[in-house]
Every structure is written in structure tokens, then in C-alpha cells.
Copies of this chain bind each other. A is one copy, B any other.
Amino acid sequence: MNNFRFCSPTEFIFGKNTICKVAQLVKQYGGSKVLIHYGNKSAKKSGLLTQIENCFQNEFIEYVKLGGVQPNPIDELVYKGIELGRKEKVNFILAIGGGSVIDSAKAIAAGILYNGDFWNFFEGIVTINHALPIATVLTLPAAGSEGSPNTVITKTDGMLKRGIGSSFIRPVFSIMDPVLTFTLPTCQTVYGIADMMAHVMERYFTQTQGVDITDRMCESILLSIIHSAKTLIREPENYDARANIMWASTIAHNGICGVGREEDWATHALEHELSALYNIAHGAGLAVMFPAWMQYVYTAGIDRFVQFATRVWNIENIGSKKEIALKGIHALKDFFSSIKLPINFEQLGAQKSDIDKLIDTLKINTKGKLGNFLLLDMNDARAIYEIAAKR
């Protein structure tokens, strides 16, 4: 086991009828003028935005609103949010939505207190050393941004999709009511499932030895996600399945699954180029890229793939290690297919002929190297995209 630091201070308020606590919590964490940040239709249409505005009005909390966050949030709206937040002298950011809204809110929270261009954080020119407090009302379990120190923003000029992390932008609290997710379209539900499974698997596939407890924890979360996903496909309003999935998204990415080990994150990097180029859902891209990455790298640490196959997919420990490992990878692919996730470029709407473009931006964003389980260069990345492009 490697040395580690772990600190996950976010307060989670989880369950039915928890939205009403938002105003009291904002006050408790020092907010008196709030920038409410949200997406487009659903927060308004569902009445959630109005409900939260009423809570604030009843408690005499001032607020301004900025909607319009799209999947794969972009720098332009972050600049707008920074300008609005400064002009209105807000001292608290509340994100209502999923990972895209929360990530955009995090960039705004750091950017408001920084005198230069916020994109400098994403270029690695400066590090975040303070930010306004951020909180979330989660409506889409997927990215785990409600409990993570991470944010991913796309710069439209050049379509550069970049991620950073800082403890200053970890939410102070997150309200999580699974009932809010009852009406999610199936595609959003399953994209979220692919995203959270990928967050666990990026940590699970490691060369670090002797980390049994983190291995077991990763496996337990995957098993639980698989179980609940199968239920949700049949019964989208099953509360317990929605609740298990919602909590899984958080602990998949608050860091607890990665303690004591090297993590990988190659698949996330490979995927970011796809969602930047095609503006597709991150989770959809991950469902295609993860099995492709696995197929390319599994021989570099076959025992871990055998463990994955036997413990997560209940594959019998019979035959060669290679056979067992491949059965595990196929089981993951079959599972993704069974819950209507894409598993190749065609199903994703990506083109094999675009691989050169993908490699071009990947090279810029990764400086030509990525991954940890197996260190990949651009030839490896090309080979993995080619696997993903097969039907």
C-alpha cells in the first residue's frame, strides 16, 4: 500500500424531502448572497428552481441566477459567471444540476477571487489558493462532482477539454434527493452509470500491490451499481435503486476508492477528446472507451483482470488467466449493451476517420503520454481508438 492523504469534508444531506434544508445550510456555511447556477430546461420545468428561490426568499437570502450550462461546460459561461458574481458581490455559489453545472460553478467560484484569466488554472500556470464556498443540489448522479475536488471545463477556442483539482473547490455541502432522478431519461441514467463505474475502475486498475481493502471497496461499489442498474432499466421509479446509484456516484469519486494506490485515468483522457469533438455525453464515450482500453492493456497486469472477472462478474476461475480476463472484459461490455449503452464508435456516432483529429488534441492535452497501469504513447492511443472503432 502506498502512503496517502485522504480528506473528504463535504457534508452530504441525503434522502427524500431534503431540498427544504438548502437555505438553512447556506446560512450555516456563511452564505448571504448566492449565485444560483443551473442548466437549461429541467431545473425550471421540474419546479426545483422555484422551490429553492422560495426557500431563499423565506429566509431573506439574496440571490442572482445564471442558467444555461450545457453538457461539457464551456469557458464562455464561466467568464459570464465570474463577471456576474463580481458585479453582484455574491459570497456563495449554489449549483443545481449534475456534473456539468457543478464543474462550471467550481470554476466560477475560483475565478471570482482570482485577478487573472481563470483558464490559467487549467493551463497549470497557477494553482487555486482560494475560492468562494460552493454547494450543490444534485439532480444527475454521474460525475461525482458533488463530493469531489475536481472540475472539467472545455475551452471552445481549440476545443481543449481540461480537468483540474483543488481542495478549495470541493463543495461544502451537497443535497441529494433520489426522487429528483425519477424522471431522468434512460440515456442520462445509463450515461451516469458508465461514468461512475469508470471512476471506480480508473482507480481499481492499478499496479500497486497489497491494497486489498481498496480493491474490495471498489468491487463492492461496482457490484452494487450493476445490481441497481438492472433494476432501474425495469423500474425507473424504484427509490432504493435510485438511492443506491446516487450514493454510488459520490463515493466512486470522493477519493475513498483510490487510497493507497496509483490511479490510471487514461480512459478519461481518451474519452475527453471524443466528447470535445462530438459534444456527446462523457458517460457514453466512457462506455465505448473503457472496454477498448482494457482489451489493449490487460496483459500488462493480468492478475488484476482475473480478479475483476471473478469477483465482479462471477466468472468461474477455470481456464487460462487470459481466457478468464477476457471473459471479464466481455461481461462488462455485455452489461453495458444490456443497459443500452453504446460499445463502439458507430453506436456512439463517432467516425474512425476522425482518429487523427482525436490524436492531435490528445497529444496537446496529455503532452503525448497518458495512463499509469500501462504508460501509453500516441501509438498506443491510436490502437485503442481503433479497437473502439470496430463494430
Residues of A7-32 contacting chain B, CB below 8 A: 7-18
A244 interface residue per 8 A CB criterion = yes
Contact yes or no, B227 A221, CB < 8 A: no
Of A8, A212, A215, A243, most buried by chain B (CB within 10 Å of CB) is A212
A12 CB contact (under 8 Å) in B7, B211, B223: B7
CB distance from A66 to the nearest CB of B (A): 28
In the complex, residue of chain B having the shortest beta-carbon distance to the beta carbon of A210: B240
Residue-by-residue, is A23-53 near B (CB-CB < 8 Å gives 1, otherwise 0)? Answer: 0000000000000000000000000000000
Contact yes or no, B221 A1, CB < 8 A: no
CB distance from A220 to the nearest CB of B (A): 4
Residue-by-residue, is A199-232 near B (CB-CB < 8 Å gives 1, otherwise 0)? Answer: 0000000000111110111011101100110000
In the complex, residue of chain B having the shortest beta-carbon distance to the beta carbon of A8: B8
A335 interface residue per 8 A CB criterion = no
Contact yes or no, A210 B243, CB < 8 A: yes
A58 interface residue per 8 A CB criterion = no
Q: A243-B1, A260-B243 are in contact. Are A213 and B248 (CB under 8 A)?
A: yes
Contact yes or no, A244 B1, CB < 8 A: yes
Contact yes or no, B7 A9, CB < 8 A: yes
CB distance from A272 to the nearest CB of B (A): 28
A2 interface residue per 8 A CB criterion = yes
**Which A residues lie at the B interface, using CB under 8 A?**
1-18, 178, 209-213, 215-217, 219-221, 223-224, 227-228, 239-241, 243-244, 247-248, 251, 256, 259-260
